[in-house]
Structure 1
C-alpha cells in the first residue's frame, strides 16, 4: 500500500469542514508557527479512485525537514475543539533546494514584484489550442495571487492593474509587454528564498562560532593539524564538510535568482475580481463566491506535477 499514489479531491458540500473552512483557516494561521509552512489546505485524500472513499484531510506542506509532531498535535486539538473530527492531518515535506525545476500543485508562488508574501498554485491543466489543436500546460491559481502590490507600481501601472481587476485579462492581450512585465510569477518565491538564505547563513555562522571549530582553524593556520587526535580530526572534517555544503547551497540559491531561474511564467488569461451567486446556502444563509482565477503560461524549463507527494 505504501507505493500506491495518493489521490486528491475537492471537499464535498456534505463535509462539515466545507462550511467552516474560513474560520478554521484563520485560527490555524493565528495559532501555528508558520515558519517553513508553505501551504495549508483541506481536501479529500486517499488511495481510492472514488472520492467518497477518501476522507477529508487537512494538508500542510512544509519546506523544511524537522519534527512536526507538535504542529500536528496542535492542529488536531484545534479540530477537536471545533468538533471537526477528521481522520487525518497530513504534513508533506518538500525541500526548497531539492525541488529544483519541479513545480507541484500546492506549492507557494507569488507575483515577481511581491517580495513579502505568497499564494498557492492550485493545479496544472492541459488545454488544447482552438487554432492549432496543440495541447499546452498551464498553472491554475487565484487572481489575487498574480496581482502585484500597488505600492511598487507607477500611476500608469496602477491604472493597468485596476482595469485588469475589473475586466480580467484575455489571451489576446497576454503577450503584451505590460502583461509580461507586471503579471509574471515566481516559484520559488522571494519570501521563501529570503527565509532559506537566512537559515543557511545562520547555520554557517553557528559552525564558525563554535569554540572547537575556532581552535581547529587556528591549528590549521599554524600547520599543526598533527596535534589532532583521530577523533578530533574526524570531528573537524565533519564540520568542514557541513560548512562547504551550506556554502554551496547558498551559492546555488543566489545563482538561481540572479539568473531569473525562479520565474514560473506569466499570466495567459485571468478573471479579475468578480463575485458570483452560485446558490450556496446553509441554514438560510447565502454564501457568495469569488471564483477569481488566473492561467499561467509556464516557462519551458518547468516540470509540472499535480502530485502532492
Structure 2
C-alpha cells in the first residue's frame, strides 16, 4: 500500500514538472515572438526625405538631376526632411530626433567650391547663405507628432550650373537610423521653348496639288514669355481682326512700302494659351494668280525675341 502511495506521489510530481516546463516554454515562445515583432517594427527608418536617400558612404551619394529651362536665370527646388514614413504620416517616431543638415557646393571632383562669386548664387529659405561653399545647421523633430522641415533652394545666374550640390541630413541621437543624402546635378533643358511660327502642312499639300486657298492658317506656339513680331504682306493677305481683339487690339504698323504690316505680340504670360492658329484672308482674287507654295509662304513672317 505504501509503495502504491509513493508511486502515485511520484507520478503526480512528474505531471506537475511537465506542466511547469510546458507553461514556461509557452511563455518564453510568446515573449520571443513579441520581441521579434517589436524589433521588426522598430527597424523602420522614421527619419526620411522626399529627395534624400539613405547612404553608407558620403563620397558615394546617389545623384538626382534637376533640369531647368535654358532661359531661366532663377532656378528653384526644395528638399523636405521628415520624422515619419513618406506618404504615411501616421507612422512617425514618437521620440525626439536631433539631426545635422549640411549643404556643400562641390565641383566634379567632389571638392568644395570656395569661390564666393560662385557659391553666393545659392540662397536657402530666402535668407540663408553658404560660407566658404558650405552651410550646416542643427535641427530637431519634437517627440509625439509627425513633422516636416522644408529647405527651399534658390539658384541665380549661370555660373553655378557646372557644379553640384551635396546635401546630407544625419541623425545625431538615433543610432538605428541611417543618414540621408543626395548629390544634386544641375542641367538645363535644351528643348526649344521660344515662340515659333509656321504654316499648316495640310495647306501646303493642298497648294502643291493645285488647289486654290481663299484663306491661310498660320500657327504660332511657344512656352516662354516674350515679345514677338508678326508681319504680313497686306497686298496679298489680311489678318483676322478677331485674333487682334483676342490679343487686346495691339497697334498694327504699316511699313514705308505701304503694304507690309506688322504687330508686336506679348506672348507666354501665365494663364494664356501656348498656341494660336491665326487666319489670314486673301485680299485678291486667288484664281487670277498662278501661285506656288514658295511664293505663298513669303506672305507671312514671324520673329521671336531671339531672332533678328
Q: Same fold (TM over 0.5)?
A: no
Interval containing the TM-score (normalised by the shorter chain):
under 0.3
Which structure is higher in strand share?
2
Q: TM-score, normalised by structure 2?
A: 0.22
Which structure is higher in helix share?
1
Q: TM-score, normalised by structure 1?
A: 0.22
